[in-house]
Amino acid sequence: MDYHISQSDLKKLLEGNPQLVKKSNESGEHWRFDVKTASDYRYSSIEQGDEAGLLEGKVGAQLFLTWDSSGKLAKINFWYTKLNGEKQPQIHVFNAFLDGTMTDSIYE
């Protein structure tokens, strides 16, 4: 992903307005995009991914974007499900950082 993309260009690319996330432990602006949601999907907390919603299939994935105080994209956090060896959904969390570091781990 191009870390030099503007907030307005990213909104156009993702076809919508994000929910703004207020995190007390980080500075900058935080956005959340819900992907492939059920019509009755509701999620009250916006601090992290919706574990129950993901496992029940009410939301397909959740994208969190962290912007620094100057409006530059600083971090990407993507919550999604993947079937494990027993064909049960498991939550995975992918992170991409400004320095190019990426992680993808199982959420437990």
- Write out pLDDT tens, residues 39-79: 999 886 767 899 999 999 999 999 988 888 888 888 899 99
Least confident of 23-27, 44-48, 89-93: 23-27
Tokens at 100, concatenated: 């190019």
In this predicted structure, what is the pLDDT of residue 2? Answer: 52
CB 6 within 8 A of CB 70: no
- pTM over cut 0.85: no
Tell me which residue of 49, 95, 47, 97 sits closest to 73, measured CA to CA: 97
Residue 3 has pLDDT above 50, yes or no: yes
Give the Cα separation of 35 and 28 in Å (integer).
23
* 1 confidence band (pLDDT: 50, 70, 90): very low
Give the Cα separation of 64 and 50 in Å (integer).
12
Tell me which residue of 5, 53, 11, 9 sits closest to 32, measured CA to CA: 11
In this predicted structure, what is the pLDDT of residue 79? Answer: 96
